[in-house]
Amino acid sequence: DEKTLHERQIGSSDAVALLERFQALKSQDPYKDNLSLSYFLRDTPYSARDGYVPDLVSSVHRSGEDRVRYLFTPTVDDLKPIAKESPPHKIEIVVRGDVYGLAEKFEREIADFLRATTGLVVNRQQNYFGFTHSEATKGKALEVLLNKLGIDPRNVAYVGVSLDDADALRMV
């Protein structure tokens, strides 16, 4: 379809399940006070004021007057009705620094969760984990663009430096 792929919404049930998994992990040691969550709905990022929120820096960096303004909900539970009515196009979980090797531990924990859901993919950049719809990838966007323009992938050069480039690199 003609929808913008990077804004394809995560399914409501996957969004709620991820919020619940986040809550379960955040309540356990060593994750307590070491995880934060941002919920991106169109141009509006949300975050929950669940106790200590260590890091609200998102992958969306702006400066000056155009700076990103977060809307806060009291808890992650308050995001669940929003997820049911208006699922996000991205949920980002930040692991605070690399305390106790938490980023790697979180990655293993979340891998089990992702195997149970077919509608999500994760892009990890150090201690940032961005969850999106499984079709909101660079490879899928490149495929749609090449098909629309009638370009053979063998005639394309693609340069990428992170794991979220892998599916696009395999195409060309």
Cα(144)–Cα(169) distance, integer angstroms: 15
C-alpha to C-alpha distance for 9 and 54, rounded to whole angstroms: 26
**Per-residue CA distances from 35 to 47, 93, 165 (Å):** 12, 7, 25
Per-residue pLDDT averaged across 61-65, rounded?
47
Q: Which residues, in sequence order, are CB contacts of 113 under 8 Å at separation 6+?
A: 17, 18, 21
Is the peptide bond preceding residue 30 cis, with omega within 30 degrees of 0? Answer: yes
- Lowest mean pLDDT of 2-16, 18-32, 45-59, name the range: 45-59
Outline where 4-155 has alpha helix (H): 12-26, 79-85, 102-116, 138-149
φ, ψ for residue 127, nearest 5 deg = -105, 15
The pLDDT mean for the chain works out to 81
Residues 131-148, mean pLDDT to the nearest whole number: 87
Read off the pTM. 0.78
Residue 57: what pLDDT? Answer: 42
Q: Please report, rounded to a whole number, the percentage of residues in the chain having pLDDT higher than 70.
A: 83
